[in-house]
Amino acid sequence: MSFLDKLDLAAPTELDRYQIAFSLYVAREIIEADGRLDTGELRLLSATFTDEILRAVGFIDEGGMFTGDLEKYQAGAAAGLAEGLDLAAKLDLVSFFHEACLSGHDVHQDELDVLRDAAVLLGLSPEQVDNHLN
């Protein structure tokens, strides 16, 4: 996921926080959409949203518990990202959401619906999403 590759853990920006909060929320929604949880999905979450990253952006404390900042940034993420990200960065997030869909054994329509809903929140059209994923 390229936005995490660019993350400066020593100085995360507001936009970084919005991207991580939104991505974590959407990935969890995708994973829960089919009503099943498998090890591939858990691996994706733990490999992507490491304690180091979550601690650097203030989303977990030293004990590993989620902080109120996570909810705060999740609440404002869609508006902040729709305005703050360019098309390429939005499509990078869509790629990650698609990876979350593929992390289980089967891709379910409910998972794709969550992906598409998230893309709309980012200001992307269905055509942009389809063109990117195909």
**Helix (H) / strand (E) containing 72:** helix 68-84
Note the pTM of the prediction, 2 decimals.
0.91
Burial of 118 (0-12, 13-18, 19+ CB in 10 A): buried
Give yes or no for a contact between 88 and 19, defined as CB atoms under 8 angstroms apart: no
What mean pLDDT, rounded, does the chain reach? Answer: 92
- Classify 13-133 by CATH class: mainly alpha
Give yes or no for a contact between 30 and 116, defined as CB atoms under 8 angstroms apart: no
Q: What is the CA radius of gyration of the chain?
A: 14
Secondary structure (3-state) at 60: strand
pLDDT tens digits, residue range 73-132?
999 998 999 999 999 999 999 999 999 998 877 788 999 999 999 999 999 999 999 999
